[in-house]
Amino acid sequence: MTERPFADKIAVVTGATRGVGEAVAVALAAGGAHVVALGRTEGALEELDDKIVAAGGTSTLVPMDVTDYDAIDRLGAALYERYGHLDVFVGNAGFLGPLTPMRDVELKDWDKAVNINLTANYRFIRSFDPLLRMATSGRAVLVSSGAAHKDRAYWGPYAITKAGLEVMGRTWAAETVTTPLKINLFNPGPIRTRMRAKAFPGEDPMTLPTPEEAAEAIVALCRTDFMETGKLYDFPTRSIQAFRAPA
């Protein structure tokens, strides 16, 4: 019999229509979770639903832009009314933005990076924290990037907002450390995705791990038997890294 560690659990996945987010949504559904999948286009969500059904799972499709913050609040209220709690939240939606010198970053691109990579996740935390605490063993994973730890030229908006996301995730974990809720961060590293191809167009994608491989590691962080919190799982090294407090 196939293992179903997420049977009867409710999971929200953002950025669920492609790449790592799509693979996570399918994997959670295959593991028994009812997946609430967020994406910008109905067509892509319907394609995801076909894959979830093929994996033996179920989903609720939510076409929305994560910068529609009122919609995030409405979603939290709807989840409470329907389920009374939330078991898993995977914050995967992200925006690469322009790879250009800081002085040349247009305001609209800066705002979009901040709004999607940082503010949207804050709004999800604000809306979902009570629901995750109501679960028997709530789990949250925020998808970061190795760029958050590198002073790489031309990656300013993306790297800066991902660094902010990591601090936000660790702060949230510190605030919930005495609860059953476990919150962790995930660095996928180079993965065979459209975003990676945009950033490194000359790279051979067949040399990179697949989104499904990364999803397997993310899903492991969502299990009730994973008891770490406030940590970063570094997929390239397959290791869990603790953040050191200053002396």
Domain segments of the chain as ranges = 10-234
Distance CA 140, CA 181 (A): 8
Query: What does each C-alpha distance from 185 to 13, 83, 89, 188, 232 come to in angstroms?
Result: 14, 26, 12, 10, 5
What pLDDT is attached to residue 205?
87
DSSP structure string for the chain: ----TTTT-EEEESSTTSHHHHHHHHHHHHTTPEEEEEES-HHHHHHHHHHHHHTT-EEEEEE--TT-HHHHHHHHHHHHHHHS---EEEE--------S-GGG--HHHHHHHIIIIIIHHHHHHHHHHHHHHHSSS-EEEEE--GGGG---TT-HHHHHHHHHHHHHHHHHHHHTTTSS-EEEEEE--S-SSHHHHHH-TTS-GGGS--HHHHHHHHHHHTSTT----S-EEETTTTEEEPPPPP-
Structural tokens at position 117: 């990579």
What pLDDT is attached to residue 243?
60
User: Residues of the chain whose pLDDT is less than 70?
Assistant: 1-2, 243-247
CB 18 within 8 A of CB 41: no
What pLDDT digit, counting tens, does each position of 53-72 carry? 999 999 999 999 999 999 99
What pLDDT is attached to residue 241?
84
The domain covering 10-234 belongs, at the CATH homologous superfamily level, to: NAD(P)-binding Rossmann-like Domain (3.40.50.720)
Distance CA 170, CA 188 (A): 17
